Structure 1
Amino acid sequence: MADVANVPAVQNGPLNEKAPLENVVPTAGSTPKVPSRSESVVSFKSTAEDVQLATTNGPAGSSNQAEAGAEKKQEEGAWQPPVGVWQKIITKPTQDSRPPPQPVLSAEQEAKYTAVFTDVSSWETIPATTAKNAPQSAIQDYERMWLTRECILRYLRATKWKTADALKRLESTMSWRREYGADTFTADYISPENETGKQLVLGYDRETRPILYLNPGNQNTKMSDRQIHHLCFMLDRTIDMMPPGQESACLLINFKSSSNSTLPSVAQSRAVLNILQNHSPERLGKALITETPWYVTTFFKLISGFIDPVTKEKMKFNEDLTQYVPVEQLWADRGGDLKFTYDHSLYWPSLNDECNKRRAAYKKRWEDGGKRIGEFEAYLRGGNHESLQQVLEKSGIDTSASKHSLEVTAQVARLSLDNRRE
């Protein structure tokens, strides 16, 4: 899943005919397509007056002022539990939630990062599609922005630190996103899929991972390309909501009120795993799966052989969710204290407006930092971290004269690794 960029937005339309169906990401019961953060998402067309009108009519209206006050506190400082019924997104983790420490790299791992960084820094074109011998086309700014230091490290970890494999998969993902149109889907196009709240980005776990709720029991559409696009869109929005220092997401999958007919097929599930494991590696932090009837258990056994062992370790079945999520930010419907009711007219613009704002800020920081491959994600997400350009300026390295010098590029890579802490 890529990070913030300016790419053409596509309101609707079928999948790229050349994109194989197995390169599709399903949910338990539906499946959407991966829009990157590099995309410029068109938000749901809703005015402040519309939102106010919706909140002042009916039971939810009585808590409108309290909700507005809680939102203001979220913007100003530490997250505060809402008073009354909550119907929008949550923008911050709880104050006592902490991201896990970043792994310390060995000298060998640092050398492998430097090798991959040096190689991708020289890329001027990449294949336009994933087809064998596909024509090359120029790499775009939003694709360069996706190649952060952490992105490169994620692909190295996913390939067991095999540099050739990491390079191959990085290029493959970039070509796949082009071919699949993963950066072109808008909020207006996806909106009908989420009218029943079958997927929700809501709150954070104890390690500051944004939570994506998957509720297959709320399925509201027939199987289509747009279902596949929907999950991908929501996965990218979940990444948009990551705070500095966090790289992974928490999935809460609940099969309450679901039926056998809402489950994806084995082929669709394999396609989802292909995207999650091959094109979004190291993005899954936890998958907490609850209320599983017998046919769901059977289903997971059927697809078990296709699930990577590392992914399996992150899957927890029917456990107490409060072990992983603070009760203040865990939906009451899942055993927490957060009184949340889904209203599409409120939630959908709330989610997309916040993500648009974050994407724009991310892109602006990347531009201000000199549009560098290997940029720090903590800096791009607004954390207390210098940009890579600032680190280079302090070091006295002149990168302007020898843009593609291997020696200079290797020095840049080493400096990025020496400054990995926020």
Structure 2
Amino acid sequence: MSIHVPLPVPTRSHETAPPSALSEKKQTSYDCVLEHFAAVDYTLPNVNQEKAALTVDEKFWLSYECLLRYLRATNWNADVAIKRLEGTLKWRREFGIYDKITAEYIEPEAATGKEVLFGYDTHGRPAIYVSPSKVGTEESPRTIQLTVWMAERAFDLMGPGVESLALMVGYAGNAKNPSFSLCRTTLDIIQTHYPERLGLALIAHLPWLLNAFIALLTPFMDPHTRQKLVFNPVINENGLFRTAADAEAWNADSTLRVFEPDQLIQEGWNGSQRFTYSHRVYWEALVKLCEERRSRMFVVWHGMGGKVGIKEWDVKVAVRDETIDAHVDVDEALIDTHVDVDGVSTENSQLQS
């Protein structure tokens, strides 16, 4: 049996613990950032005043965990965190996260299956597979836009307590190395606008000729990003491991395994999932899955007050447990406007063969 669709969001067995209480000092920093963005009269600085107020999407994005991610990235300096958050809010508008980069717009770039969302690691982090061998000869802005769109969809499919993703880069086959400019731009976006969102980057089958290329990029990586890179991980019948030593010690310490076999693609990654990319089937299924999940989260978020600082944990637990208040009055048109990822009907699609 081959599979052509994404795997479902993991159950409780992959979840982490709920957010822990902050220390008094950290709570003070958080309260400062929250008060800044939650102010009734808040507007984004240095933008057209007619569009300076936060949109519903932006308030949804400014969750409790989001504010904490930026605070941790700035060593709990509230003023610096506010400046970085405002920079990202402006970048998200300019980049077109909420309007331009829709599934319909980005689909032509995704047609080869060079980037695929499939499976979860042992920490419940969704995996984005990147296949350089499927990259075309020409690079364009849509190449980076696809990467960002896939990351945003990975965030849609994270379970309670999961905040980061796993990046899987497989150099099997006739892999084409991306340009230095493309890699530098992508790296800058990740480090500037997605702090603590990259949980792990696994680069498999790395040719020795590319070591020099990686060395050129390394100086542009912050220390935290460099620590997340794993080159040529060990993949065997027990799953995927960072090192041979971890694979050998796995029976004594099960936490050493990064991926279970049934969450890994067979081709190039030695997993048990015989995933074959069929664009029409996969794309429709992915877009529908993300659209429906994000819509449900949006309804829950509205029911909890629809404001800045609501916990992603609470929203996702409510979605998981299907505890959405049926009496919450949410304008369906509003949901369509703000959470649609340009889904298309999957009726009569053959999802598995």
TM-score bucket of the superposed structures, by smaller chain: 0.7 to 0.9
Instruction: Please tell me whether residue 162 in structure 1 is matched to residue 77 in structure 2.
Output: yes
- Partner SS state of residue 126, structure 1: coil
User: Matched residues in 2 for 1:319 and 1:103: separation?
Assistant: 32
Residues 317/104 of structure 1: CA separation in 2 closer, same or farther (3 Å cut): farther
Aligned 1:167-206 pairs, distance under 5 A: 167-184=82-99, 185-206=101-122
Instruction: Please tell me whether residue 306 in structure 1 is matched to residue 224 in structure 2.
Output: no
Residues 365/102 of structure 1: CA separation in 2 closer, same or farther (3 Å cut): closer
1:384 CA displacement:
7.8
Residues 198/124 of structure 1: CA separation in 2 closer, same or farther (3 Å cut): same
Alignment check: 8 A CA contact 2:15 2:160 kept: no
Question: Could you tell me which amino acid in structure 2 is paired with residue 210 of structure 1?
Answer: P
User: Matched residues in 2 for 1:104 and 1:312: separation?
Assistant: 29
Alignment check: 8 A CA contact 1:244 1:382 kept: yes
User: Matched residues in 2 for 1:256 and 1:103: separation?
Assistant: 41
1:385 CA displacement:
9.7
- Partner SS state of residue 372, structure 1: coil
User: Matched residues in 2 for 1:101 and 1:95: separation?
Assistant: 12
User: Matched residues in 1 for 2:227 and 2:21: separation?
Assistant: 21
1:89 CA displacement:
0.6
- Partner SS state of residue 90, structure 2: helix
Aligned 1:71-220 pairs, distance under 5 A: 84-93=1-10, 96-99=13-16, 102=19, 105-122=22-39, 124-127=42-45, 133-136=46-49, 137-184=52-99, 185-220=101-136
User: How many positions carry a matched residue from both structures?
Assistant: 297
Give per-residue Cα distances to partners, 1:300-331, cap 9 Å, x unaligned: 10010110101111111111252311111111
- Partner SS state of residue 211, structure 1: strand
1:171 CA displacement:
0.4
Instruction: Please tell me whether residue 249 in structure 1 is matched to residue 165 in structure 2.
Output: yes
Q: Bigger shift: 135-144 or 109-118? A: 135-144
- Partner SS state of residue 123, structure 2: coil
Residues 304/171 of structure 1: CA separation in 2 closer, same or farther (3 Å cut): same
1:6 corresponds in structure 2 to none
| Cα root mean square deviation, aligned | 2.1
Aligned 1:9-408 pairs, distance under 5 A: 84-93=1-10, 96-99=13-16, 102=19, 105-122=22-39, 124-127=42-45, 133-136=46-49, 137-184=52-99, 185-220=101-136, 222-259=138-175, 262-321=176-235, 322=240, 323-333=257-267, 334-383=269-318
Question: Could you tell me which amino acid in structure 2 is paired with residue 171 of structure 1?
Answer: E
Give per-residue Cα distances to partners, 1:246-282, cap 9 Å, x unaligned: 11101111111244xx323323222111211110111
Alignment check: 8 A CA contact 2:19 2:313 kept: no
1:357 CA displacement:
0.2
1:235 CA displacement:
0.8
Question: Could you tell me which amino acid in structure 2 is paired with residue 154 of structure 1?
Answer: R
Give per-residue Cα distances to partners, 1:313-354, cap 9 Å, x unaligned: 111111125231111111112011111111111111010000
Alignment check: 8 A CA contact 2:117 2:127 kept: yes
Alignment check: 8 A CA contact 1:193 1:221 kept: no
- Partner SS state of residue 159, structure 2: coil
1:98 CA displacement:
3.7
User: Matched residues in 2 for 1:94 and 1:301: separation?
Assistant: 39
Question: Could you tell me which amino acid in structure 2 is paired with residue 252 of structure 1?
Answer: M
- Partner SS state of residue 125, structure 1: coil
Give per-residue Cα distances to partners, 1:385-412, cap 9 Å, x unaligned: 99xxx9xxxxxxxxxxxxxxxxxxxxxx
Give per-residue Cα distances to partners, 1:223-256, cap 9 Å, x unaligned: 1121121111111111111011111101111111
Percent of paired sites with the same residue: 36
1:57 corresponds in structure 2 to none
- Partner SS state of residue 288, structure 1: strand
User: Matched residues in 1 for 2:118 and 2:305: separation?
Assistant: 33
Give per-residue Cα distances to partners, 1:152-200, cap 9 Å, x unaligned: 0000011111111100000000011111212222212211212221111
User: Matched residues in 1 for 2:286 and 2:110: separation?
Assistant: 12
User: Matched residues in 2 for 1:169 and 1:205: separation?
Assistant: 29
Question: Could you tell me which amino acid in structure 1 is paired with residue 289 of structure 2?
Answer: E
User: Matched residues in 1 for 2:216 and 2:312: separation?
Assistant: 37
Question: Could you tell me which amino acid in structure 1 is paired with residue 143 of structure 2?
Answer: Q
1:124 CA displacement:
2.3
Residues 378/95 of structure 1: CA separation in 2 closer, same or farther (3 Å cut): closer
Question: Could you tell me which amino acid in structure 1 is paired with residue 120 of structure 2?
Answer: Y
- Partner SS state of residue 14, structure 2: coil
Residues 104/266 of structure 1: CA separation in 2 closer, same or farther (3 Å cut): farther
Q: Bigger shift: 185-194 or 337-346? A: 185-194
1:102 CA displacement:
4.5
